[in-house]
Amino acid sequence: MPKQSITVELDDETLRSLAVLGEPIVVLTHLAHSAADGVLRPADPQRRQTDESLRVERDRTDTGAAEKRKTDEAKADEVVWLARQRADQVVQTARDEASERPPSTDTEARSERARTVLENERSSADAVLARERAERRRDHADFQAAEREITDKGLTGERAQFDTALADQREANAQMVSATMRAQDLAEEAEEGQRRASAVLEEREEQFRRLVDSVGDYAIFMLDPNGIITTWNLGAERIKGYKADEIIGQHFSRFYGEEDVRAGLCERELEVATRVGRFEDEGWRIRKDGSRFWANVLISAIRDPRDGKLLGLAKITRDLTSRKAAEEEKIELAKSQERESDLRAVAEFREMFIGIVGHDLRNPLGSIGMAAGLLLRRGHLDEQDGRVVARIVHGSQRMSRMITQLLDLTRARLGDGLPIEPKPTDLREICRNVVDEFEAPIDLEVLGDVTGTWDPDRLAEVLSNLAGNAVEYATPGTAVVVEAREDGAEVVVEVRNQGHPIPADVLPFIFEPFRRAQQREKSKAGNLGLGLYIARQIVLSHGGTLDAHSVDGTTTFVMRLPRGAARPKAAAS
For the chain, report the end-to-end CA distance as a whole number of angstroms: 117
- Integer angstrom CA distances of residue 464 from 79, 166, 473, 483: 189, 140, 14, 14
**pLDDT number for residue 122:** 66
Average pLDDT, the chain: 77
Fold of 215-319: Beta-Lactamase (3.30.450)
| Domains 215-319 and 329-415 equal at CATH topology level | no
Indicate whether 194 pLDDT > 70: yes
Q: Which amino acid is at 10?
A: L
> For residue 52, with 0-12 CB atoms within 10 Å meaning exposed, 13-18 middle and 19 or more buried, which class applies?
exposed
> Per mean pLDDT, which range of 97-101, 180-184, 279-283 is the poorest?
97-101
> Per mean pLDDT, which range of 107-111, 436-440, 451-455, 461-465 is the poorest?
107-111
C-alpha to C-alpha distance for 29 and 36, rounded to whole angstroms: 11
Q: Nearest Cα to 413, choosing from 295, 530, 273, 528?
A: 530
Work out the average pLDDT over 73-94: 69
List the alpha helices (DSSP H) in 379-493. Answer: 383-414, 427-437, 456-473
Work out the average pLDDT over 3-10: 55
- Integer angstrom CA distances of residue 19 from 181, 184, 191, 410: 17, 13, 13, 97
Q: What digits encode the pLDDT tens for the residues 300-344?
A: 999 988 888 999 999 999 999 888 888 888 998 899 888 888 888
| Cβ(372)–Cβ(393) below 8 Å | yes
The domain segmentation of the chain, as residue ranges, is 12-211, 215-319, 329-415, 417-562
Q: SS3 of 136, please?
A: helix
Q: Which residues, in sequence order, are CB contacts of 509 under 8 Å at separation 6+?
A: 515
C-alpha to C-alpha distance for 386 and 390, rounded to whole angstroms: 6
Work out the average pLDDT over 555-569: 78
Bridge partners, residue 571, by sequence? none
Indicate whether 84 pLDDT > 80: no
**Residue range 417-562 in CATH 3.20.10.10:** no
Residue of higher predicted confidence among 410 and 326 = 326
C-alpha to C-alpha distance for 356 and 354, rounded to whole angstroms: 5
Q: Which residues, in sequence order, are CB contacts of 79 under 8 Å at separation 6+?
A: 129
Class at the top of the CATH hierarchy for domain 329-415: mainly alpha
Q: What digits encode the pLDDT tens for the residues 258-296?
A: 999 999 999 999 999 999 999 999 999 999 999 999 999
Task: Give the helix/strand (H/E) hosting 446.
Answer: strand 442-447
C-alpha to C-alpha distance for 227 and 210, rounded to whole angstroms: 23
What is the pTM assigned to this prediction?
0.37
- Integer angstrom CA distances of residue 371 from 227, 374, 565: 93, 5, 38
The highest-confidence range among 43-47, 258-262, 503-507, 530-534, by mean pLDDT, is 258-262
Q: What digits encode the pLDDT tens for the residues 388-408?
A: 888 887 777 667 766 776 666
